[in-house]
Structure 1
Amino acid sequence: MTDLADQPLSPLDGRYRIATAPLAVHLSEAGLNRARVRVEVEWLLALTDAGVAGTSPLDDSQRDALRRIVDGFGAADVAELAGHEAVTRHDVKAVEYYLRDRLAALGLGDLAELVHFACTSEDINNLAVATTVQTAVREVWVPALDGVVERLRGLALRWAEAPMLARTHGQPATPTTMGKELAVFVHRLARLRERVLAVEITGKANGASGDFAAHVVAAPEIDWQALTKRFVEGLGLAWNPLTTQIESHDWQVELYGRLEHVGGVLHNLCTDVWMYIAEGYLVQVPQAGATGSSTMPHKVNPIRFENAEANLELAEGVLGTLRRTLVTSRWQRDLTDSTTQRNIGVGLGHGLVALDNLTRGLGEIELDRDRLLADLDANQEVLGEAIQTVVRAEIVAGRSDTANPYELVKALTRGRRVTADRMAEFVAGLGLEAEVAARLAALTPAGYTGLAAELVDHIR
């Protein structure tokens, strides 16, 4: 069994690796370390630009050389950092020593003491986490969500006029169209996408207790608030001026809550599509070579939607834990946030697997229009709403003296099936004006979809 010890423990790094690899670039330990190196480099440049300790701004070639350390960060650098950490037993201190070595190689060894100057580890970590999460969400998670939304949009537009029996409380209800029902999800997800992107991601660089104490003692002539504001904003973040040792993580709580919300809507999509498949409204297109059951050859299981459903639940569990844990820290800080934040990629990873499966699953379904029409024809009683509503309008207009049309239709239809002929007979006996009676007589469940098809235009 010892030869299996190096195998991936999590399916995110095993079975689902192809789907999650883009996240690993940003949210793996290596991705975090590269971000730490970037923060340290940019802090060094900010310090020299401000003339801290009598320094002068570096020239373009020196700046480019420092930034190439970040751009070229790879496997060899990861191994080198691991070597430093084996000695320091401290991940951020290992980054500092790694950069000191690089400065010496570039002929900038006289700046070594400005690496990690006046910083606590959280000054580096909060900015590294913020920039990696921001990039992962914007460049990986959002495009994956867009893939689902665009596939849904295409199906909604294609099936905008396909009439379908609706079900409220699981019971036959006023007909709709399949396109309109899918358009509801497009509309919800598009709105929530913007809410995710609107989260203000904040960062800080203010020392061990958040007071710039070491900064002011070492270089009292510097406007440290202005310097750190420029520095944090230069990383693409919003500056947080008031913190303890830790950046308060409120942006993370807000972001993960919004990602959970999106996941909840996607979960709703999964279960709805699953039930449409079970009902026969949607048909899965068999994939060459695929097996639905190990014993029942006929089956085409809705595995994409079931897989997505399960991974969305796992994502919700991790993101919910992050949200609840990161909102608090004992006094000026404790280290619960450090361990917790190492699982950000796990939460986003399960969400990404779900998005991948949803995109694929939505590309492998077709609409059985005949099944939809047959179901509509078998539920003529759903026209009862239209009939009683029309009669009520006629009563108000003074063109009918029918008493309590709702109760009349209820007595005819509640809890029972009504044939088209019986419905026509009922309408004929209401004594309505000829034009109104003809309008109701011509109405069918398939034609009773109101503005459903037009409403789909809102997602074009």
Structure 2
Amino acid sequence: MPETAAAVTRTPSGRLALAASPEKIALGPLDGRYQSAIAPLVDYLSEAALNRDRVAVEVEWLIHLTSNSVLPGAGPLTAEQQDKLRGIVTEFDAAAVAELAEIEAVTVHDVKAVEYYISRRLPAIGIENLTAMVHFGCTSEDINNLSYALGVKGAVEDVWLPAARALVQQIEAMAEENRAVPMLSRTHGQPATPTTLGKELAVIAYRLSRQLDRVAKTEYLGKINGATGTYAAHVASVPGADWQSVSKSFVEGLGLTWNPLTTQIESHDWQAELYSDIARFNRILHNVCTDIWSYISIGYFRQIPVAGATGSSTMPHKVNPIRFENAEANLEISNGLLDTLAATLVTSRWQRDLTDSSSQRNIGVAFGHSLLAISNVAKGLKALDVAGDVLAGDLDTNWEVLGEAIQMVMRAEAIAGVAGMENPYERLKDLTRGHRVDAARMQEFVSGLGLSADAEARLLALTPGGYTGIADELVDHLK
């Protein structure tokens, strides 16, 4: 059938316009390719979730004012009326999202649209006389700051933290399993004093856990105090109420920390603190990715092939560390946004400007890229096998790393009065620096030092794989 002008839409270059398709086509990868990995965040940090939380805050404010008889003539609602009001929130669905969008198209104001949306439903509850109490004394930011706090708090506590903690627990389990597996260290990328794989994984888990503990202690602040934080409209309309007490009890009733001193906006300092902590977690995890990638490249880990998967379109043998590479990229994108949010949100011209409005709409994107990275690292770690033979072989070809132990034993011998222990560091440096030394040469050197019998026996029994100190015991600090 020939195309008609009415049947298709084309771009200026002549291509079919995908945007004209009736199917939803995502612009960004989080809402397209990676949507399944970040789906849980939609219930907390999407635009629809923000509007649902705005409705919730407005509804709870109305219930709070009436329950405490703050306004003369507006006493407590019945339990049934309160339940029906809260039903506006629990039944918030796709149709509600569409209705709000229609109202906002007229108001050109998102929070005012929420006020009208709730007001429409009061007659059915039998409280149309309280329409004037919806959004009473509030500026938009009274609703917005509380809604964002609730959304971010939920996203952190219900989605991001559980995923991050599960990843750390996965690393802790790997540390325990490999606590005694010796591994050559590579300070500055060069062979160095051996460690154990488990101890190195424990270092990672410990670092990440500290950041998660900081995130878990986040204070989510909120305010509800009017256009410039002075309760001016509140006092003018109901001068007899203790508005600070009303505000404090309401904010704390939402599970947030009350901020008593603000301009029109809650200052967002808590957000900057939180995003900096999450960004720090991301940076440590990025370091984990680059280290694991490097260990894979030198054969310390083998990747378990996935049936049917392709590593390269032209090289059939390849199994690429794509999970870690994907995570690196997403952590960098997440941190770019988190750093911007942390820097931007703490500043506002005088009592209010709107830079935070657009900025905060990207909170979900920042969390989404971090959550996607966490998912990729977890999957990547599950697909690793420890190459014990490679680890052992690497240690056995680097006997020179025992130079540290030998010169330290010589120092101890000198202090104990054993003769002939002069210049231990320099003598080991001449033997080992820039040279590969095998077992026979090292033991020959030890035997010719004139050590005490006990010290000589200890060093002759020492191997690179056995020179790990108490590395395996250090893993217990994770407990």
TM range (shorter): over 0.9
Alignment match of 1:19 (pick from 37, 48, 62): 37
Sequence identity of aligned pairs in percent?
61
Distance 1:401 1:65 in 2: 91
Residue 61 of structure 2 aligns with which residue?
A: 43
Residue 300 of structure 1 aligns with which residue?
A: 319
Whether the 8 Å CA contact 1:166–1:173 is kept in 2: the answer is yes
Distance 1:53 1:24 in 2: 40
- Matched AA of 1:278: S
Distance 1:279 1:447 in 2: 21
Q: Secondary structure, in 3 states, of the residue corresponding to 1:291? A: coil
Residues 29-428 of structure 1 mapped to structure 2, 5 A cutoff: 29-51=47-69, 52-428=71-447
Residue 3 of structure 2 aligns with which residue?
A: none
What TM-score, normalized by structure 2, do the two folds share? 0.95
Per-residue CA distance 1:127-173 (angstroms, 9 max, x = gap) = 00001001001100001101211111111111111100001011100
Distance 2:470 2:79 in 1: 62
Residue 12 of structure 2 aligns with which residue?
A: none
- Matched AA of 1:170: G
Whether the 8 Å CA contact 1:164–1:376 is kept in 2: the answer is yes
Query: How large is the Cα RMSD of the aligned pairs?
Result: 0.9
Whether the 8 Å CA contact 1:149–1:186 is kept in 2: the answer is yes
Residue 450 of structure 1 aligns with which residue?
A: 469
- Matched AA of 1:3: L
Per-residue CA distance 1:243-278 (angstroms, 9 max, x = gap) = 000000000110000000000010010001000000
* Deviation of the 1:399 alpha carbon: 2.7
Distance 2:401 2:18 in 1: 64
Whether the 8 Å CA contact 2:420–2:449 is kept in 1: the answer is no
* Deviation of the 1:50 alpha carbon: 2.3
* Deviation of the 1:3 alpha carbon: 3.3
Tell me if 1:2 matches 2:17: yes
- Matched AA of 2:17: T
Q: Secondary structure, in 3 states, of the residue corresponding to 1:58? A: coil
Q: Secondary structure, in 3 states, of the residue corresponding to 1:169? A: helix
Q: Secondary structure, in 3 states, of the residue corresponding to 2:129? A: helix
Q: How many residues align?
A: 460
- Matched AA of 1:24: V
What TM-score, normalized by structure 1, do the two folds share? 0.99
Whether the 8 Å CA contact 1:305–1:358 is kept in 2: the answer is yes
* Deviation of the 1:53 alpha carbon: 3.1
Q: Which runs of 5+ in 2 are unaligned?
A: 1-15
* Deviation of the 1:49 alpha carbon: 1.8
Alignment match of 2:46 (pick from 12, 18, 28): 28
* Deviation of the 1:65 alpha carbon: 1.4
Distance 2:342 2:34 in 1: 25
- Matched AA of 2:67: D
